Structure 1
Amino acid sequence: MGCSASLPAKSVGGVGSLDGESSNPADSNNLRVKLVLLGDSGVGKSCIVLRFVRGQFDPTSKVTVGASFLSQTLALQDSSTIKFEIWDTAGQERYAALAPLYYRGAGAAIVVYDITSPESFIKAQYWVKELQKHGNPDIVMALVGNKADLNENRSVQSQDARDYADKNGMFFIETSAKTADNINQLFEEVAKRLPRPAPLP
């Protein structure tokens, strides 16, 4: 299912704080960016976040309810740092109406599907359209095929996903939260693509 059991529980109440503009650059070398994960239930969104933030994988964890929040700072090679404020949204249909509260004002979005599930790829395309309609016009979007460790059960071809991502101005990567494959690279690629504020005079 998800990897949310080990995440700090956050209620969906107090959503007012989600609406603020998250990119709050003190200077061009230290950015703070709101990042949202979207995708069908069970594709591994929480597992990706947990692997990135804590280096952990918990296959027995429960489904995310509403959304959970974590943050992680990434140091880049150019000596700049990016603090990701990560909102991991629930994939179940009954929470879909809450998603705009989380992606409003987000500087980056990671749309996740499961490479063994064609249905989850269709759902990912739905989220891309929603972001294009209602998200920040400058949002950095990544399309992520998770569960790359299950390649023998693959139902979604990499080339189809890459073509879709190219057509929609996203970058594409396949990951495995279980083996940690490409997890850090995913967030590094997001970080590299974020617009940087002009240096202060």
Structure 2
Amino acid sequence: MAPPVVSALAKYKLVFLGDQAVGKTAIITRFMYDKFDDTYQATIGIDFLSKTMYLEDRTVRLQLWDTAGQERFRSLIPSYIRDSSVAVIVYDVTDRQSFLNTSKWIEEVNTQRGGDVLIFLVGNKTDLVDKRKVSTDEGEAKAQEHRAMFIETSAKAGFNIKPLFRKIAGSLPGLDALSSAKQEEMVDINLRPSTGSSTSGAAAQADQKSGGCAC
């Protein structure tokens, strides 16, 4: 008897881009583990995580690449954009410069991938209502200008994190839009740092800040 046919698991690479401390790592951590760390620690190089999503009629694996926002790591980023399916560009709604800089990140994505990539513009830290410097309308306008999807989130409060990833999953090439994917259908399967992101403890300590907000 012939062995049963096992269909290959569809894999999609998501690269997270944006300035330092806008909350890229916090968004991923909230999605993966439903938790938030008040202590900010800068990402060193590139970190890799993966998660399987069980949708209504298929299963996909999202490969999440968390990039450092610091200028000294900028040269590493183009190589991670080149084979990505989705670019998630994050800014801090309390930091106007991080919002203005999204134009540069979008330009970098277009340079490396042209139109062959989905772009999501994400305004993070909406819980800091009194400190907001970028309106929702401005975010939506920039997303429309660059033909990107738009959503606002708060990793600290857990606001719109899973809807963000459901929206991404529903927009992936070859997938129909999700209408009723449930949060319970998302299961963590793996966590490991990429080989390119390992550093000595001293180097990691040098890049660590205490008391900052990664929300």
TM-score, normalised to structure 2's length?
Answer: 0.75
Instruction: After TM superposition, list the pairs within 5 Å mapping 1:1-201 onto structure 2.
Output: 30-76=9-55, 78-135=56-113, 137-196=115-174
Report the alpha carbon displacement of residue 79 of structure 1 after superposing the two structures with TM.
2.2
SS at structure 2 position matched to 1:142 = strand
The amino acid that maps onto 1:162 is E
The amino acid that maps onto 1:92 is Q
The amino acid that maps onto 1:59 is D
SS at structure 2 position matched to 1:148 = coil
In the alignment, what sits opposite 1:18? Answer: none
SS at structure 2 position matched to 1:137 = coil
Percent of aligned positions with the same letter in both sequences? 41
SS at structure 2 position matched to 1:149 = coil
CA distance in 1, matches of 2:138, 2:6: 39
Q: Which has the higher contact order (CA 8 A, sep 6+)?
A: 2
CA distance in 2, matches of 1:30, 1:194: 14
Unaligned runs of 5+ in 2: 176-215
The amino acid that maps onto 1:153 is K
Q: C-alpha offsets along residues 99-151 of structure 1, whole Å, 9 cap, x if unaligned?
A: 11211100011000000000100121110111112125321110000001012
The amino acid that maps onto 2:25 is S
Contact 1:107/1:136 (CA < 8 Å) preserved in 2? no
| Change in CA separation of 1:173 and 1:28 when aligned onto 2, cut-off 3 Å | farther
Shift >3 Å, 4+ stretches:
26-30
Q: What is the aligned residue count? A: 171
Contact 1:39/1:127 (CA < 8 Å) preserved in 2? yes
Unaligned runs of 5+ in 1: 1-25
Report the alpha carbon displacement of residue 27 of structure 1 after superposing the two structures with TM.
9.1
CA distance in 2, matches of 1:171, 1:137: 14
The amino acid that maps onto 1:67 is I
SS at structure 1 position matched to 2:128 = helix
CA distance in 2, matches of 1:61, 1:115: 17
Report the alpha carbon displacement of residue 82 of structure 1 after superposing the two structures with TM.
2.1
CA radius of gyration, larger in:
2
TM-score, normalised to structure 1's length?
Answer: 0.80
In the alignment, what sits opposite 1:17? Answer: none
Q: CA RMSD in A?
A: 1.9
